[in-house]
Structure 1
Amino acid sequence: MIWKAILVAVLAVGVLAEYELTDAQRQQMRELLRQTCKKNGNEDKADAVEATVKNFAECVKTLFNPDTIKQEIEAAKPNGELDEVFKKYCAKSPQLKTCIHTLTTGVTPCLDAKVRDHIAYVDNSTDSLIDFLCYRDGDRIAMFIAEHGPECMQTKTSDIRECANKMREGISSLDDAKSLTLEQQCGKFDELASCVVKALEGCESDTPSNMVQSLFNYIKKGSPCKK
């Protein structure tokens, strides 16, 4: 399903995002996890799955420190050495892929049987996404940063959020999403892509919108919508 391709993109953004959960939110997530495991006949695996998620977070932290990366980027900008920064971090992509594969394997016991059958697809898709971002040692990321891509994204946050809201129109539950035909799913994906790219076209540089368009095209190429 194309929803898995969308999930891959969301996960990629989530790894780079900075957020904090309240104790209440953590508890809600634990309860949801336990209910999901119980629904799929593996309630006794809930603690192990929770530990897997925590280990994944720690695994990523050992590879990337957001504060350090920001400092290195700012120091590299004046000297035009962004490519060296991302070359260093893209060299860690094999370790990142291992972190992700360990996560997907660890959470598998609590997933729906149909979803378990697509774990290999998720692994392959995330690997491909990392390869896309680290093409030529991270040249794409370096260009995105140099052309003020993050700043562009930040100014268009509300517009991008509205794009996501439009995509969810008519979908109030997971069952609603599952009931969509492939054609409808692909239509939703194209709608989201076009909306986000159009929002970014309002930025001073064309690079952010072109880069995001390429990313959406890359994700679609690896999905059933490629046809």
Structure 2
Amino acid sequence: MIWKTLFIALLAVGAYAEVQIPNDQAQYDTMLSNYCTKNGASEHLQDVKAAITAFGDCLKGLIDIETITDEIKKAMPNGELDEVFKKYCEKTPQLKNCLYTMLEGVKPCMDSAIRSHIGDIKNGTSQLLEFICYKDGDRIALFYAEGGPACLQSKIAELRDCGQKLKDSVSTVEEAKAMSLDTQCHKYDELTSCMVTELEKCDTPTPGNMAESLFKYIRNTSPCPKKN
């Protein structure tokens, strides 16, 4: 199920760091080639690379990091962050289309377990964007206005420690794959509770509250039993 796939990915990236970010184009090409070959799809390599490149171009056409950073800096003193994020949240349909097109383009090289859940990934992404852009981006505007980015930056070491605790509690990724759903949910709760606790130590409660709401939202869309 997609929940288990996401949980294993969380362990691999957050705790075990098994997914390495390439340092240059040659490493990236090699990594992608090896991945496609591993999944018996080496003949699709060029099409997959083209899909990823098109996705990057699509994103650049929607969001320019330097531009949005400048807009946020100018809007904050005037209390106009909501207008900035409203403008970008209105691009959600185009962003979804960029992502969906890319997912279909790279599907041939995907592991069969992930490929069978493309629909779930699309649905999950859509729900996450809807959470972030609730009421035209009010949530993310409040997060920025209340010092959310600075809070995250100041708590990087502590958040990494939360990931380390997860790693220490699970010996290997193979062990994680064998976990029952209840155990996975418990591990998720431990990790997210640790992260929220650290963020609650920031100068304002908003970053911690926002993170807690996001984690609850993700959990409620999972197969985990609902909490009272």
1:169 match: secondary structure: helix
Aligned-pair distance for 1:164? Answer: 1.8
Superposition map of 1:29-178 within 5 A: 29-169=28-168, 171=170, 174-178=173-177
Asked whether the 8 Å contact 1:2–1:189 carries over to 2, the reply is no
- Tell me how large the CA RMSD over aligned residues is: 2.2
Query: TM-score scaled to structure 2, two decimals?
Result: 0.86
Closer/same/farther in 2, CA of residues 179 and 120 from structure 1, 3 Å limit: same
TM-score norm. by structure 1 comes to 0.87
| Cα gap change, 1:172 to 1:97, in 2 (>3 Å) | farther
Any gaps of 5 or more consecutive residues in structure 1? 10-19
Give per-residue Cα distances to partners, 1:59-100, cap 9 Å, x unaligned: 111111111111111111111111110110000000011111
Aligned partner of 2:184 in structure 1 is 185
SS at match of 1:223: coil
Partner of 2:15: none
Q: 2: distance between equivalents of 1:135 and 1:182? A: 29
Q: CA deviation at 1:57?
A: 1.6
Alpha-carbon deviations, 1:144-195, whole Å to 9, x = none? 0000000000000111112122223355654333222212221221111101
Given that 2:8 and 2:173 are in contact with CA atoms closer than 8 Å, whether structure 1 keeps it comes out as no
Partners in 2 of 1:131 and 1:168 — Cα distance?
31
Question: Quick one: percent identity of the two aligned structures?
Answer: 46
Could you list the runs of 4 or more consecutive aligned residues of structure 1 that deviate by over 6 angstroms after TM superposition? Answer: none
**Residue ranges of structure 2 left out of the alignment (5+ in a row):** 11-20
Against the structure 1 CA distance between its residues 135 and 8, is the aligned structure 2 distance closer, same or farther, given a 3 Å change threshold?
farther
Q: Which amino acid aligns with 1:222?
A: T
Q: In 2, distance between residues paired with 1:8 and 1:124?
A: 17
CA distance in 2, matches of 1:218, 1:108: 27
Q: What is the CA–CA distance in structure 2 between the aligned matches of 1:165 and 1:220, rounded to whole Å?
A: 21
One-letter amino acid of the structure 1 residue matched with residue 177 of structure 2? K
